[in-house]
Structure 1
């Protein structure tokens, strides 16, 4: 072969120059390590080529460009000189061109393999192949084929070192076989890659064609555009890995589903829900206690206990950012501000506010959602509320939790256990969403009118805060601060056009309302605003002044009759205190005695508990006949009729036990009952007075109608701590343990009426 070489080492240049001076012959041998700039004899292969230097050209920079022609193989026997260049003693090998059948077979195999290699590699043109295979000398043929192959130095050296032609052809066949295997693998990989690329390119090309056709037709591929839109929305949101993977799968399903199939609309709705839920979004809490306190004071008058609890929660939240959301349950009669209090909590913390009413909910799916297999399936109200909030830490109000009921569709209160349990709600599972949603950051506020209607397991997870109702003074302040300004604004009036005084408000509260909250009061204020607005517009009045004297011209005659305190003391008429779901109430118990056969008649829609209390009271009076001065045979000759007015309203509970016994004692002895006294307590056969519940509500009701003294069980003394100070000052409490004490306090001595 004739090849060009670039020579740069000093030893190599010196050797070239020496060769040029003499016979132009040089020994070319390969280094074992090409990186070694100063090779020793052991670093050089022993078999190389004797070559003739044909041309020598010196280049700038000291490099020499040399043209050499290989003559024959040679083996280095010994190194004679090392400086300034290597001189070696060599043994030359002449090429022996002999052909045997075995060599002929090897030649044919080699040519066949080489032809295959040329076809697969396509690195050399077919003309070169023709020129190679026409060479007849086996040694020359093997060397020529080897020169066209891209081989490693070790393989080339192996071929060079194979002196016998047969050995050289065998080595070359082995190398060609290996190269063909590699080329076959390459071909397979290329075919596979090309097919994949062709498929991708074909799909891309077809999509582009489809887009172009649709553009021409003025039509769009809604499905593709929709899937792309969903993918874009997914990219824009930072979602948990599990959620992102689920959305990705559903998008792929949507792409494969034909648009006219009903399933596609189900997938779309599901994707919209998943992408609109606040999986990671949170609002930053305002944890400034002073600002929160100021806002709560602005929005609500009184309710100190509730405000204190909210400020405590904020304080802990400031100290511990990862605190789980509280679960506050506000229990109280309608109109006392439970719902608006939840709004104030949200405003004071700068959180989103969501309200869900549970009144009348009787299907478990309302809380946990429907399975997606059903037509018109939707997530439950909890997940719907979270989407409305747009953050995972809102103030979530569950209104009227005591109005839920259960039927064959499941028990929604049981489903609420998972929502409100701090140990479970960080992975709340909605049947529709099918992915765990974290509710642990939510501040839950629950409202109810009556605690006994809330299921016990649910009640166990809440912190109960009771709101009993408002005193007359509190109602006046609420009206002046909130209700009147709100109604004036709604009716387009100013404070100068319609003036309220405290006296007027007091008359409205006493004569036109009887409630624990302020809803009825607000309705009456709205009525006054309407009447005033008409007078101002129709009669061209500049202002309307309301007084206690002219109030009846606007609101009509007072709705509520005189309170028992304004009447004379009556025989057989006692005033009791009762608890209802709308707050405390005053209960009149009337007893009439007439000749008969000793029957005890009870009327007024009394429940079983109240009937039993009446029987117990009657039995007690029979045991105390002598002390009370009642005829011993009265139970044989006298009929007693106990009646509780307002017979249309069902009444039940133990609170009226001592009231009914007092009224019966009064009717049988002829001694009047003091009208300024109201009482509550359960009675036993032996006359013991047992404690009852709802003391705060009952006391507020007594204060509302002007009662001066309240008789209650001694064990209920601790409950009076919750009663407002101004109410406690206005009332006198008589704590009793026995019915004898009740009668001493309630009945007037003698038979004359005062």
Structure 2
């Protein structure tokens, strides 16, 4: 059956009406009122059909409302919002991976894994965009196939045309098509039979059915069988091309917007926001940042209904309106700090916004009309994802920002931060120079953080003092050495905790993770005459207290293994203390170190002070894996530790750590407490051995 009318058919081919012909039964359209520029804007704005109908209805309502009434202003504002939204404006993506890599490298030093993940994300989009859409035309009339092939090839489709359903199935087996346009009546296998096969074997393929015997029944049957669209003959080419373009856009959305939304997580000052800005720059898209910190009301994002006085669209629609394009990069900053309390959860609206299955028809309360957010690239940032609701967390692909190493901080300070801040304070490298040694002293003594925010503040403080000094004393070129740094900024407020110099009984070193990165802590154990009391001090949290109780139970239950008097606890009190009592401490990472301190105390064997450990202890003596390994290893290097005891389960984490962090460390992987004690405890006869 041909798509433009069947030759020899009893059904006459419709002739196009003459230009002068006027239908008798159809009333003429009312001409638009003269001097009605608002309605003219609505008609010429190219709005989608559903939006255009709503705007026309609002124009009709506006004509019947007194201009002095409040409803007139509400309707007028509503129309202005509709007309100002970028319903059809899309920024073309620049998917040059090499350029994106250059942009990310120029904006950020380090963060290799984060950059690689972002480039992988862009590479997938690039490959999906390069693929030509494939369309399969199925009709038993050669002239119809040839004509439609010319039309769709001109539209950029890769076209294959076949004569019946059997040939169509064979073509799909060779290479599946994105869209199938099929006639209904054909020899061999008709369109309905072909539709059933397509829905069973290729469910994601879009199907348009066309027939010259268009009735309500055939249309209903075709849609029930799974057709996406249904057209009668003679075919309106403009409508057919529009339907194919719409189905291809839906297919694209299903292909490469089905993934997770990126969520950058890490300590403050790591560059999460600026990485998002660099992604927008690399893609050539507009960038918009929304801070969700302290957000209480979902209406802030979804908008207020027009029944309220002063109603307005939500921040998402406002941002898209300001960007002027419907595919910007929107960064939802501080997602974990949105308020969740008994009055409601402001993050609940994000479930619809970020879900690729729903956000193509996002409804703002003010508009009351669907707006397609599927082309928006959403990026979330958070200091930690633990506070996020589980349904929201499932929609996010979390990318962790690791702490900067001291070497990376020195490079960033000398190459970026210091030159930039000198310029901002009216100085340059001809007046002031800050050697790398001074930058290292500034980082080690005046900052304690995983990121760079505090470092930037200290460098800015140094620049202000240098500006005053240069201006007041009319100095020439100034080189800031370490003594001058201390003179300008005062005594360093922070000092790294060094490892102990000689083995001691009852003193073990543990590696822990904090918000500021890795640190070492000392675990002290003492025994005194008493009555079976375990005393825990040092602002220990509940988990850490349980680790100490587990360690003591392990020592008592394995007394024979280590040569400990089985009745040692009957007439003794055990005191475990972790110094820096004003600082709260929590977590399971010190379980192994507490046990080592207790074993040293009870056996009299000193603990090697060049050894530090981390790991959770089970009651049966198994050493369980913990997190934050990279930061802990950095802390061990900074403190002068040479041997690190890690759980066997952390071996994979260590393989992904940079060589710079591992340099000079002897890492011992253990599975049991007995193995850990064998590394950390000295022989009582030779307490000063170093191996």
Distance 1:735 1:544, change over 3 A: same
2:444–2:495 CA contact under 8 A, matched in 1:
no
Offset, 1:253: 2.9
Q: What is the CA–CA distance in structure 1 between the aligned matches of 2:95 and 2:110, rounded to whole Å? A: 22
Offset, 1:535: 0.5
Q: What is the CA–CA distance in structure 2 between the aligned matches of 1:705 and 1:232, rounded to whole Å? A: 74
Structure 1 segment 679-694 matched on structure 2, within 5 A? 679-694=613-628
Other-structure match for 1:446: 380
1:370–1:377 CA contact under 8 A, matched in 2:
yes
Which one of the candidate residues 50, 56, 60 is aligned to 1:252?
60
Offset, 1:745: 1.6
1:564–1:675 CA contact under 8 A, matched in 2:
no
Q: What is the CA–CA distance in structure 2 between the aligned matches of 1:250 and 1:524, rounded to whole Å? A: 57
Name the stretch that deviates more: 686-695 or 368-377. Answer: 368-377
CA offsets per residue over residues 474-521 of structure 1, 9 Å max, x none? Answer: 111111222112211221110122211121111122222222111111
Other-structure match for 1:297: 105
Other-structure match for 1:331: 265
TM-score calculated relative to the size of structure 1: 0.66
Other-structure match for 1:216: none
Distance 1:444 1:598, change over 3 A: same
Question: Are 1:234 and 2:168 counterparts?
Answer: no
Distance 1:568 1:291, change over 3 A: same
Provide the secondary structure at the position in 1 that maps to 2:527: strand
Other-structure match for 1:378: 312
Question: Are 1:597 and 2:531 counterparts?
Answer: yes
Question: Are 1:554 and 2:488 counterparts?
Answer: yes
Q: What is the CA–CA distance in structure 1 between the aligned matches of 2:43 and 2:633, rounded to whole Å? A: 61
Which one of the candidate residues 360, 363, 369 is aligned to 2:294?
360
Distance 1:398 1:588, change over 3 A: farther
Distance 1:599 1:540, change over 3 A: same
Structure 2: gaps (5+ residues): 1-26, 130-251
CA RMSD between the two structures = 2.9
Structure 1 segment 60-209 matched on structure 2, within 5 A? none
Other-structure match for 1:279: 87
Question: What is the number of residues matched between the two proteins?
Answer: 537
Offset, 1:648: 4.2
Q: What is the CA–CA distance in structure 1 between the aligned matches of 2:48 and 2:661, rounded to whole Å? A: 56
Distance 1:248 1:521, change over 3 A: same
Provide the secondary structure at the position in 2 that maps to 1:550: helix
Distance 1:562 1:297, change over 3 A: closer
Offset, 1:238: 2.7
Which one of the candidate residues 401, 421, 424 is aligned to 1:490?
424
Distance 1:378 1:649, change over 3 A: farther
Name the stretch that deviates more: 538-547 or 449-458. Answer: 449-458
Offset, 1:388: 2.9
2:497–2:520 CA contact under 8 A, matched in 1:
no
Offset, 1:681: 0.9
Q: Greater RCO between the two (CA within 8 Å, min separation 6)?
A: 2
Question: Are 1:311 and 2:245 counterparts?
Answer: no
Distance 1:247 1:661, change over 3 A: same
Provide the secondary structure at the position in 1 that maps to 2:403: coil
Other-structure match for 1:110: none
Distance 1:615 1:284, change over 3 A: same
Question: Are 1:543 and 2:473 counterparts?
Answer: no
Offset, 1:563: 1.7
Q: What is the CA–CA distance in structure 2 between the aligned matches of 1:657 and 1:533, rounded to whole Å? A: 50
Distance 1:582 1:557, change over 3 A: closer
Q: What is the CA–CA distance in structure 1 between the aligned matches of 2:379 and 2:618, rounded to whole Å? A: 40
Other-structure match for 2:275: 341
Structure 1: gaps (5+ residues): 1-191, 205-224
Q: What is the CA–CA distance in structure 2 between the aligned matches of 1:604 and 1:275, rounded to whole Å? A: 64
Offset, 1:629: 4.6
Question: Are 1:674 and 2:482 counterparts?
Answer: no
Provide the secondary structure at the position in 2 that maps to 1:578: strand
Q: What is the CA–CA distance in structure 2 between the aligned matches of 1:248 and 1:651, rounded to whole Å? A: 64
Other-structure match for 2:176: none
Distance 1:704 1:434, change over 3 A: farther
Offset, 1:469: 0.9
Q: What is the CA–CA distance in structure 1 between the aligned matches of 2:496 and 2:627, rounded to whole Å? A: 27
Other-structure match for 1:645: 579
Offset, 1:719: 1.1
Distance 1:433 1:574, change over 3 A: farther
Other-structure match for 2:550: 616
Distance 1:627 1:406, change over 3 A: same
Which one of the candidate residues 715, 723, 742 is aligned to 2:657?
723
Q: What is the CA–CA distance in structure 2 between the aligned matches of 1:362 and 1:648, rounded to whole Å? A: 34
Other-structure match for 1:504: 438
Provide the secondary structure at the position in 1 that maps to 2:523: strand
Q: What is the CA–CA distance in structure 1 between the aligned matches of 2:531 and 2:342, rounded to whole Å? A: 51
Q: What is the CA–CA distance in structure 1 between the aligned matches of 2:609 and 2:86, rounded to whole Å? A: 61
Provide the secondary structure at the position in 2 that maps to 1:538: helix
Other-structure match for 2:461: 527
Provide the secondary structure at the position in 2 that maps to 1:452: coil
User: Which of 1 and 2 has greater Rg?
Assistant: 1
2:303–2:366 CA contact under 8 A, matched in 1:
yes
Q: What is the CA–CA distance in structure 1 between the aligned matches of 2:500 and 2:422, rounded to whole Å? A: 35
Provide the secondary structure at the position in 2 that maps to 1:565: coil
Other-structure match for 1:8: none
Other-structure match for 1:663: 597
Larger helix proportion of the pair: 1
Other-structure match for 1:573: 507
Provide the secondary structure at the position in 1 that maps to 2:499: helix
Distance 1:631 1:349, change over 3 A: same
Q: What is the CA–CA distance in structure 1 between the aligned matches of 2:40 and 2:426, rounded to whole Å? A: 49
